[in-house]
Amino acid sequence: MQLRRAITGALLVGPAVLFLGAWYAVPVGNVLLMSVGYPRLTGTHLLKFFREPVYLDVLQTTFVMSAVITAICVVLGYPAAYLVATVGPRARAWLLIAIMLPFTTSMLVRTYAWMALLGRDGIVNQTMLALGIWGTPARLMHNTTGVLVGMVHVMAPFMILSMYAVMRNIDLGLCRAAETLGARPAVSHLTVYLPLALPGVAAGSLLVFMLSLGFYITPALLGSTRDVWIAMLVEIQLNQVLDWNFAAAIATVLLVATVILYVVYVKLFGESRLGQLS
């Protein structure tokens, strides 16, 4: 009986394992080997990344900008997720449609839309000039401001949905119970509701931060040449310098950073918390 179950399980899981092995494990393994200079395995390209200050500056820029984007998404996404989790079913359905609507549009199209809005002759500048708020057109694109606006627009839905997945299971009666015991609404929210919602905040932050680390399109189109992200550095090494081994080394650094972030999250909150997002 146990043998039959084992054979049945192997037949069910086998195709998935073969698929992942062929389309994920093998390419990733190839990248790892290229990063250490296979077949010599010297590690020269990895050492080059950490010895050159310019590459470390790119890594720092990527991490700092990703952290800032994550923080902004938390500040903007928490009230939105709380609203979605506490309104009625009909309003919740419309709000979820509005949050997920950007996913129906291509990333490239959304980025070009922001270029049209933030450009020198874009709607934002023209509106501010017409209202007399600005005397001259402001530079809202090809700088850090443009990258932050575009990236937050892309990442905010991931943050909102991650927090909503946890908030929808929180019993609001706990906050009302705290208020009947004398706590003010703000105090009851901070001491009762917020601690219960923190796993969703942490999961959303992890997701947004990891996705931001490897982003390319939005920083490349809305950022400047001084705001080079690590994914842009990989593209430069592949298509311009044609140094595939060094590009693999950069990708390996990004992969290791992502794995470390995941391990830290699991240590702090437990792997089971990720299941709440499904």
Q: How many angstroms from the chain centroid is the CA of residue 145? A: 18
Q: Whole domain around residue 143: which residue ranges?
A: 57-277
pLDDT at 161: 92
For residue 168, being part of any structural domain is answered with yes
For residue 34, being part of any structural domain is answered with no
For residue 143, being part of any structural domain is answered with yes
For residue 36, being part of any structural domain is answered with no
Q: How many other CB atoms are there within 10 angstroms of residue 145's CB atom?
A: 15
For residue 149, being part of any structural domain is answered with yes
Q: Do 215 and 202 touch, CB atoms closer than 8 A?
A: no
Closest of 195, 191, 192, 204 to residue 165, by C-alpha: 204
Question: pLDDT by residue (tens digit) across 99-118?
Answer: 988 888 888 888 888 888 88
Domain count of the fold of the chain = 1
pLDDT at 1: 61
Question: pLDDT by residue (tens digit) across 47-84?
Answer: 888 888 888 888 888 889 999 999 999 999 999 999 99
Alpha helices in 21-52, H assignment, sequence order: 26-35, 44-51
Strands (E), the chain: none
For residue 43, being part of any structural domain is answered with no
For residue 10, being part of any structural domain is answered with no
**Cβ density class 120-140: b for 16+ within 10 Å, e for less:** eebebbeebeeeeeeeeeeeb
- The 8-class DSSP code of residue 42 comes to -
pLDDT at 278: 46
What string of DSSP letters covers 68-81? HHHHHHHHHHHHHH
- CATH number of residue 169's parent domain: 1.10.3720.10
For residue 6, being part of any structural domain is answered with no
pLDDT at 242: 80
Series of mean pLDDT values for 10-residue runs along the chain (278 residues): 72 78 77 74 78 85 91 94 90 91 85 86 84 80 87 92 90 83 83 88 89 86 82 83 83 86 76 51
